């Protein structure tokens, strides 16, 4: 009899527990829904931030990376090259007599030429670690990770030939009847060399290419 008298109390307790669990489940479902919404919002924000970051590092005219990207990426690659004890090469690229091109054909044609050159240069890069940036005006620059001087020369010559193959007329050029490039190559040789020194060397070799008649690759 004592056992039977306790059964109603057990039933009430079970029912109460069911209600508590049901209420908790509803609250949990609402919380999960809010969390899902918050997570979706966070993901959306991250994607938007990536999109905006991409916009501020992309050149508006040519669609390749801009000077801001180059400044960030060159520092990062320089640190990584030192850490891994790997070579790093910079190739400075200049379109020969581009001011004369603009003067003769107009700025609209000049913009079209810049776009075509940028796309052709980008197509010469096949490794994810390599990058092309518009350095300013008619100047572009390659960052070639884990690439020694010989490899960088090959890449630079490939780029020069790629622009020749476009056969963009330039009757106002003193170097050729078509649009051409001058390129200066510099390679990180030891840990004592700084990034500004590497950039300066690439720039000096670009100047050497121009001084020697343009439409060529120069390095040390």
Q: Active-site residue 48, yes or no? A: no
Question: How much is the pLDDT for 23?
Answer: 79
Co-location of 44 and 71 in the same domain = no
The pLDDT tens digits of the residues spanning 125-176 come to 999 999 999 999 999 999 999 999 999 999 999 999 999 999 999 999 999 9
User: Among residues 72, 88, 89, 69, which one has the least CA distance to residue 80?
Assistant: 88
83 lies in some domain: yes
Rounded CA-CA distance 131/202 in Å is 16
Q: Which residue has the higher pLDDT, 51 or 214?
A: 214
Co-location of 22 and 71 in the same domain = no
The pLDDT tens digits of the residues spanning 86-115 come to 999 999 999 999 999 999 999 999 999 999
Question: How much is the pLDDT for 2?
Answer: 45
Co-location of 138 and 39 in the same domain = no
Q: Report the domain count for the chain.
A: 2
Question: How much is the pLDDT for 30?
Answer: 74
Tokens of 148: 């020694």
Q: Of all residues in the chain, what percent carry a pLDDT higher than 70?
A: 86
Co-location of 117 and 178 in the same domain = yes
Co-location of 191 and 109 in the same domain = yes
Q: Among 138, 157, 164, 167, which one carries the catalytic annotation?
A: 138
Tokens of 140: 């572009």
> Domain with 206 in it: what CATH number?
3.30.70.270
Domain that holds residue 19: 1-56
Strand order in the sheet with 131-136: 131-136, 139-145, 88-95, 181-187, 217-218
**6 has a pLDDT exceeding 70:** no
62 lies in some domain: no
């Amino acid at each position: 009899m004592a056992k039977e008298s306790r059964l109603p109390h057990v039933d009430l307790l079970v029912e109460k527990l069911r209600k508590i669990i049901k209420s908790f489940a509803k609250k949990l479902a609402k919380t999960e829904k809010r969390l899902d919404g918050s997570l979706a919002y966070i993901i959306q924000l991250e994607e938007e931030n990536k999109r905006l970051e991409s916009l501020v590092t992309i050149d508006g005219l040519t669609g390749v990376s801009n000077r801001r990207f180059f400044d960030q990426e060159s520092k990062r690659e320089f640190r990584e090259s030192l850490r891994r004890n790997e070579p790093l090469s910079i190739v400075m690229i200049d379109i020969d007599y581009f001011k004369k091109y603009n003067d003769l054909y107009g700025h609209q044609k000049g913009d079209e030429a810049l776009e075509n050159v940028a796309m052709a240069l980008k197509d010469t890069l096949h490794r994810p670690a390599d990058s092309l940036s518009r350095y300013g005006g008619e100047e572009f620059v390659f960052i070639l990770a884990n690439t020694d001087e010989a490899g960088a020369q090959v890449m630079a010559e490939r780029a020069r030939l790629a622009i020749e193959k476009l056969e963009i007329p330039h009757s106002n050029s003193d170097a050729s009847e078509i649009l051409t490039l001058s390129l200066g190559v510099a390679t990180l040789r030891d840990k004592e060399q700084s990034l500004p020194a590497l950039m300066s060397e690439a720039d000096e070799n670009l100047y050497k290419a121009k001084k020697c008649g343009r439409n060529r690759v120069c390095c040390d």
